[in-house]
Every structure is written in structure tokens, then in C-alpha cells.
Structure 1
């Protein structure tokens, strides 16, 4: 276990070092540095706000993934400026995706599974998908942004309808769907496939995402109705 403040300070230092190392390969413009560091500050501030006093080994793996997503954000910003960053972007993103299969196993192996760890894992996934969807949308159409924005749209809907923020049961299918999104976006970003099969893969990924979120919304709606009915059934009538 590592104290949160110490872990986050080390994480920000590592992010600066990574961006500096990348600058030796692809000179990063100020915009790229701002994008990467802004992402890092957002991640560390969020963890500092939500984490318990210490981070377990699995949390540290997830934190590493989140920092790699910040590096991807910097490369995406550099790519928007017209520089060729695709090989580096794909390499860093693929590494972050590979680590997604590690943190859960580490948590189970060390007996350090927590509610915070599960939420952090999901948010790290969502952040990476959002960042990756930007360059892919430039090549394949703005509709690809739906992949990256889905998690945040669901969160926004929960602000309007609080019942959507109720805890959901564990469902391993969500992790499968997330992995499919990440793989589809990385393949699309790499440009290794022609346009038609790439678009088809992205559409399949988006369809799976819609199915997964739709199933969660249906589950929440049914249990909201059940909880409401239970509350009415247990309510005592006023005595005349």
C-alpha cells in the first residue's frame, strides 16, 4: 500500500518525464504539453478526492493506465497540429489497453479489491476511449465520438435522473465490451485496415456499447420501480 499523496506526486513526476522523453522523438508543441499535463492534473485531483488513504497495487496499475491515457492525449493534440504521431500513439494506447487486463488480476491475487478500485478502473477506461475517439473521428466521421462520449453521457443523464446513479451489479460483459471499444479504436487509429472494414468494426463496437448501456438502464429502471413499489407496500395508512 502507498499513501495517496506520495503516489500522486510520483505519478505527476513520471508523466512529466514521459512527455519529456517523447519530446526527444517527436517535439511536442505547447498545446500537446498542456493537453497531457491537464489530463494528469485532472486524474490526480479526481483520485485525491475519491481515494481512501492509501492505494493498493491494483490501483497503482490503474493509475499507470490513466497516465498513459494522458500521454495519448498529448500525442492526439500534437497530431491535430499536423505532425505524424500515429506509431507512438498506437504503441502507448496499446500498452494502456494491455494493462487493463492486469489491474483486476492483481486486485484478486492480493485480496485488495475495493469499490474505489472498480470505479477508478472504469473511469480510466472511459478516459482512454474518449481520447482515442478524437483522432479516429477525424478520419472516419464525428459519429465515432459517440464511443468516447457514451460514459460521460450516461453520467450526465444521472445528474438529471439520480436513479441512474444507483450501484449496478457486476457484469463481466462490460469489460469485454470495453476491450472491444479499445481494440477497435486502436486498430482504426493505426490505419492498418481499409476504410470499409474499419468502419464496420467501429459500428459493431458502438452497437455493443449501446447494448451494454441499454441493459444497465433497463436494470436500473426495473429496480427503481421495484424499490418504489416496496416503499409503497410498506407504508402504513394513517389511522382515522
Structure 2
């Protein structure tokens, strides 16, 4: 798990000159893309309010994580920010069930682009040697929120019963558990299994959203995803517990 970066005294000026500028530009992109989606779906103007609020919430968290001494976002984090914009628009549409049902292909298209960008930002970070704890945390939290919102979309379309929200809630339950057992906050090693399972969840949920996928098939796919994700969290939890017991002795 990544460390949480906090705003420290004396860092307000660099934040104002770098992060706020980047996030301000992102707000303009939010307004433009939201208006395009609103016109395509005939959504009410309140879509701007919902998406804008989500974006500002994300921007506030980014400022809280902003590392001391960091001069700018870099292209990898800009791509992740664009993915965050798309996820905010996707989420804004979820609270309009009629539009979600009528424009499921468009909503899925937005989600698919967000998924594809998930691979691009990591590739850019590695190619430009700009990988960072900040970027990894930003990407991880977006993934977790995206999966939860995909679960909401599946539930809204009555493809799977509300238990599907457990898939999106597992990450947040793990974080909540770390309040009681601080050893769960320790850093985990890089894991291809963890990354694969994350992508599996998103792809599976997108497949379930396809109009021709029956409720029976959707339920089976969702149950398999929940089983795989639960096993992944269990593996990580056991590894952290073993590390904790070794360090305690």
C-alpha cells in the first residue's frame, strides 16, 4: 500500500504553481466532455453539477497526496487524470437509470476507454522513467472507485442482485480493517496476480453490462469475480500477517 502524502507547511506555493494549474485545466476538459455527453444523451444540465462535484472531490484528494518537492504531474499522471475525468462522467450517468438503460452502449464506451487508458499511463510512466508512489496511489484509488461504480451500473440494470457491490466494497473493507489492525497498512510487494485480478474485474463487469448477457450468465461471472478477488485479498492479508509476526518476534 502506498504512503499517504499530506500537505505540509511551506508547500502551498509549489502546489499553487503546479498541481492547481494542472487540475484547473482538467476542470475545463470535464466541462467540455460532460457537455458533449449531455447533448448525446439529452441528460439534464444537472449532469454538469454531479460530474463537476466528483472531479473537485478527486482534485482535493490529489492535493492531499501531493508530494513535497514535486514540480508537476508528468504525462503519465495527466493520462491518469483524463481517466479520472471519464470515470467521473461515467459515475454521473449512473444516477440517471433511464439514460443508463437507453444509452448503455455509450456508457460502456466511456468505461472501455477508461480501461484502455489504465494500461497507457503505466506504459508512459515506465517509458519516461517517471514511476512514483504518488502515481501508483492515484492509479490504485481510481481503479478501486471505478470497479465499485461498475458494480453499481450492473445493479442498476438489474443484471445481478445487490450482492455484486461486495466486489467493489472489498478494497474499502480492507482499508477499514487496517484501522483496527495497523499491520495491514504495510507495503505490499509488486504482484502480477494483483494487477491481473484488477483488470479481470473491470473486463468482467463490462462484459456483464453487454445487453445480450443474460442474468444467469451475469450472476455466474460476478460470482467467479468475487471469488477470485476475495482470494487475492486473503493472500495479501496472510502475507502481511506473516510479516507482522516475524517483525514482532
Query: TM (normalized to structure 2)?
Result: 0.86
Work out the CA distance in 2 between the residues paired with 1:127 and 1:25.
25
Residue in structure 2 matched with residue 72 of structure 1 by the alignment: 90
Which aligned pairs between 1:112-123 and structure 2 lie closer than 5 A?
Answer: 112-123=130-141
The number of residue pairs the alignment matches comes to 228
Q: 1:110 aligns with which of 128, 136, 139?
A: 128
Partner of 1:13: 28
| Inter-partner Cα distance in structure 1 for 2:143 and 2:133 | 16
Taking the TM superposition and a 5 Å limit, the aligned residue runs for 1:134-149 are 134-138=152-156, 139=158, 140-149=160-169
Tell me which residue corresponds to 1:22. Answer: 37
Q: Where does structure 2 lack aligned partners over 5 or more consecutive residues?
A: 1-16
Matched residues in 1 for 2:98 and 2:78: separation?
30
In structure 2, what is the equivalent of residue 84 of structure 1? Answer: 102
Is the 1:58–1:103 contact (alpha carbons within 8 Å) kept by the matching residues of 2? Answer: yes
1:41 aligns with 2:61: no
Task: Give runs of aligned pairs for residues 213-228 of structure 1, distance below 5 A.
Answer: 213-228=233-248
Give a deviation string over 1:7-50, Cα, whole Å, max 9, x none: 11111111111111111111223554333222111111111111
Please provide the CA RMSD for this pair. 1.7
Partner of 1:174 in structure 2? 194
Q: Separation in 2 of the partners of 1:35 and 1:150? A: 25
Identify unmatched segments of 5+ residues in structure 1: 230-240
Structure 2 distance, partners of 1:196, 1:74, is 28
- Structure-1-length-normalised TM-score: 0.89
* SS across alignment from 1:169: coil
**Shift of residue 81, structure 1, vs aligned partner:** 6.9
Higher alpha-carbon Rg: 1
Tell me the SS of whatever aligns to 1:193. Answer: coil
Does the Cα contact within 8 Å between 1:157 and 1:164 map onto a contact in 2? yes
